[in-house]
């Protein structure tokens, strides 16, 4: 099964099982409901309840504080927990020239001293509250989150408000964390040929835009980052007017409005730095990247095509690209899997995905893992023939229906997960999309036609828009045993 986590650079990640408290609540909830039902029936007061019912999962409300901070509430009253996220409109594309990795370094430093008089560290506080917390730096944004019992929400809001305005950084902290980031690059990226390949393909795809730089930064530039660089970056971008706070969970807009006024309200507005907007020129030639590495277990191919994102596409264009990629490589019923794996035995695994959430640009990504007994040339020729057939002859109604059903199921699953729900909304808002745009997305995807998909294929599955990345181990010397 293809996992596209290799195609995205994240500085941190966290997954976990339910806490004992949550697990207990899940077990007790049905029992409690039955007991309540029996009590009401025995009392002779069983009536239908309509007024005061909780809002449906996903109901979204936006508000703004006087200091410019946008607050977004996403209601989910199924459990007494809350996911609290602070998204800053700054990421790797904002790293100054020659200082790649600065946004990522500051993400690490945000876990350092923001209160000189505190008797415990940030990590100790989160542990005491039973919170799950983490952060991530991407090209377009940096975000921090905590998942806590609802009763602890005021505390984490107060802490993030302090981090938004009161971070203090020493030279020693910057030097130490800078070394941590360099080691992270070595262990996460440089130790993995697949991630090195995707980094090189991304850098080749973007000749002008800063999307070509890895969010984690280049090692030689990370090594030169100084305390002043971090402080200046923090003061320029970490302010209420440059942030969005998203709170999803067992809360109401009225509750959050009051809490936000008490915690974030006093934070000075500050002066957010303007962000550079770059445009990638129209591609004129196909490009290739080849990585030969002894650590490569299987020959692998990546193919990227430059496209607009949801934020920059014309109406219906991004949705058509989404459906097109689901048809091509969205699972074992996709055309790539059926033709390249099952029928032609040209690959062990294949996949395709549209990366369309960027502020300024997007891309299509196609993937193929080739077996040791297969030839890379055979797979690439077969892939090119398959894509040419889609461009020339289009897709079937059955493929369209199946792909749209799979996308719909994915959106439903995301809505059922509080963290994914909050992230999907915040990720769109932070690059400039609206709540209405996000809410209407399922309907727009459902409205995509075969003609829309075929037009997108003709427009973007074009060789000159592509970068092909090939990865293999060095050839064995003659006479070497296999």
Residues 306-335: tens digit of each pLDDT = 999 999 999 999 999 999 999 999 999 999
Answer yes or no: are the C-beta atoms of 166 and 115 closer than 8 Å: yes
Q: What is the pLDDT of residues 72-97, one digit of tens each?
A: 999 999 999 999 999 999 999 999 99
Q: What is the pTM for the complete model shown?
A: 0.86
Q: What is the mean pLDDT of residues 120-127?
A: 87
8 Å CB contact between 286 and 464: yes
More reliable by pLDDT, 296 or 51: 296
Provide Rg for the chain, Cα atoms.
Answer: 25
Over residues 33-44, mean pLDDT:
34
Please report the pLDDT score of residue 5 as a whole number. 39
**Average pLDDT value over all residues in the chain:** 87
Question: Domain limits of the chain?
Answer: 4-16+56-263, 287-472
pLDDT, position 15: 35
> Which pLDDT does position 51 carry in this prediction?
45
- 364-401 confidence digits (pLDDT tens): 999 999 986 668 999 999 999 999 999 999 999 999 99
Task: Assign 44 a pLDDT band (cuts: 50, 70, 90).
Answer: very low
53 assigned to active site? no
Instruction: Note the pLDDT tens digit of each residue in 101-119.
Output: 999 999 999 998 666 566 7
Report yes or no: 352 and 325 within 8 Å, Cβ to Cβ. yes
Residue 480 confidence (pLDDT) above 80: no
What DSSP character marks residue 353?
E
Helix 376-393 with 450-460: angle, nearest 10 deg:
130
Q: Are 138 and 91 in contact (CB under 8 A)?
A: yes
Q: Which fold has domain 287-472?
A: Cytochrome Bc1 Complex; Chain A, domain 1 (3.30.830)
Catalytic residue among 22, 75, 107, 343: 107
Q: How buried is 415 (Cβ within 10 angstroms: 0-12 exposed, 13-18 middle, 19+ buried)? A: middle
Average pLDDT over residues 132-137: 95
pLDDT-derived band at 255 (thresholds 50, 70, 90) equals very high
pLDDT at 115: 62
Enumerate the H helices of 251-375 as residue ranges: 253-263, 317-329, 335-336
- Domain 4-16+56-263 superfamily per CATH: Metalloenzyme, LuxS/M16 peptidase-like (3.30.830.10)
Q: Do domains 4-16+56-263 and 287-472 have the same CATH topology?
A: yes
Is it the case that residue 40 has pLDDT exceeding 80? no
Least confident of 30-44, 173-187, 215-229, 265-279: 30-44
pLDDT at 4: 45
The whole-angstrom separation of Cα 73 and Cα 164 is: 19
């Amino acid at each position: 099964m293809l996992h596209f986590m290799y195609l995205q650079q994240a500085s941190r990640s966290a997954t976990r099982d339910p806490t004992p408290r949550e697990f207990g609540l899940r077990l007790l909830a049905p029992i409690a409901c039955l007991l309540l039902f029996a009590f009401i029936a025995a009392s002779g007061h069983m009536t239908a309840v309509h007024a005061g019912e909780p809002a449906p999962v996903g109901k979204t409300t936006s508000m703004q504080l006087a200091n410019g901070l946008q607050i977004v509430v996403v209601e989910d009253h199924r459990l007494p927990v809350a996911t609290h996220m602070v998204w800053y409109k700054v990421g790797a594309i904002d790293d100054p020239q020659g200082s790649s990795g600065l946004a990522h370094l500051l993400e690490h430093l945000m876990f350092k001293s923001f209160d000189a008089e505190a008797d415990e560290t940030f990590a100790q506080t989160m542990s005491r509250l039973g919170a799950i917390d983490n952060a991530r730096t991407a090209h377009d944004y940096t975000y921090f989150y905590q998942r806590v019992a609802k009763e602890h929400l005021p505390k984490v809001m107060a802490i993030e408000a302090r981090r938004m305005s009161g971070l203090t950084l020493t030279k020693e902290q910057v030097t130490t964390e800078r070394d941590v980031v360099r080691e992270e690059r070595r262990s996460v990226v440089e130790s993995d040929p697949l991630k090195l390949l995707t980094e090189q393909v991304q850098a080749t795809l973007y000749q002008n835009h800063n999307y070509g730089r890895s969010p984690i930064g280049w090692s030689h530039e990370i090594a030169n980052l100084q305390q002043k660089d971090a402080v200046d970056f923090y003061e320029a971008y970490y302010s209420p007017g440059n942030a969005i706070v998203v709170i999803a969970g067992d809360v109401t807009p009225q509750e959050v409005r009051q809490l936000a006024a008490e915690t974030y309200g006093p934070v000075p507005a500050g002066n957010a730095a303007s962000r550079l907007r770059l445009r990638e020129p129209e591609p004129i030639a196909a490009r290739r990247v080849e990585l030969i590495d002894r650590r490569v277990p299987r020959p692998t191919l990546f193919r990227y095509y430059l496209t607009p994102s949801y934020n920059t596409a014309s109406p219906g264009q991004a949705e058509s690209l989404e459906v097109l990629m689901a048809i091509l490589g969205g699972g074992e019923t996709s055309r790539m899997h059926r033709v390249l794996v099952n029928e032609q035995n040209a690959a062990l695994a294949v996949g395709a995905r549209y990366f369309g959430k960027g502020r300024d640009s997007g891309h299509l990504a196609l993937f193929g893992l080739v077996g040791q007994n297969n030839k890379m040339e055979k797979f690439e020729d077969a892939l090119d023939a398959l894509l040419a057939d889609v461009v020339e002859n289009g897709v079937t109604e059955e493929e369209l229906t199946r792909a749209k059903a799979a996308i719909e199921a994915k959106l439903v699953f995301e809505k059922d997960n509080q963290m994914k729900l909050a992230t999907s909304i915040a990720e769109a808002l932070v690059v400039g999309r609206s709540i209405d745009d996000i809410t209407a997305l399922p309907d727009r995807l459902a409205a995509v036609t075969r003609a829309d998909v075929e037009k997108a294929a003709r427009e973007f599955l074009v060789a000159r828009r592509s970068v092909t990345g090939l990865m293999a181990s060095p050839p064995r010397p003659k006479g070497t045993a296999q």
